[in-house]
Amino acid sequence: MGMHRTNAADGVAPGSFEFTEVLLHGSWDGEFVFIEPMMTRDRLATRPSLREVVEQPAAYRRTGYYPTLYTVDFDEEAGEYVIALSGPTMREGS
């Protein structure tokens, strides 16, 4: 699965906060490969409406599209949660 990473300034280290939700970044073999939204079942049961800007790094290893927005909603009509990483923006690798 790789290594999970957070911004240390956010204070989101295991055992140091009450986990309800977090947006993790991950790497494999030293290279960024994923963004992973995590939320407890109890938090989802509240049917949250969440909009968060995805923090962007100072530089990108590879040119490509990277998400800029993380959203969580509950679609009442469909009875489904909609969890998305969106706002893909082209970033140039350096």
Instruction: For 10-61, write each residue's pLDDT tens digit.
Output: 666 667 778 888 888 888 888 888 899 989 999 999 999 999 999 888 899 8
Tell me how many domains the chain contains: 1
Q: How far apart are CA 50 and CA 52, in angstroms?
A: 7
Reported pTM:
0.79
Which residue did the predictor score with more confidence, 13 or 74? Answer: 74
Confidence label for 80 from pLDDT (cuts 50, 70 and 90): very high
Is 80 exceeded by the pLDDT of residue 63? yes
pLDDT at residue 23, as a whole number = 87
Structural domain of residue 11, as residue ranges?
Answer: 3-91
Say if CB 51 and CB 82 are below 8 A apart: no
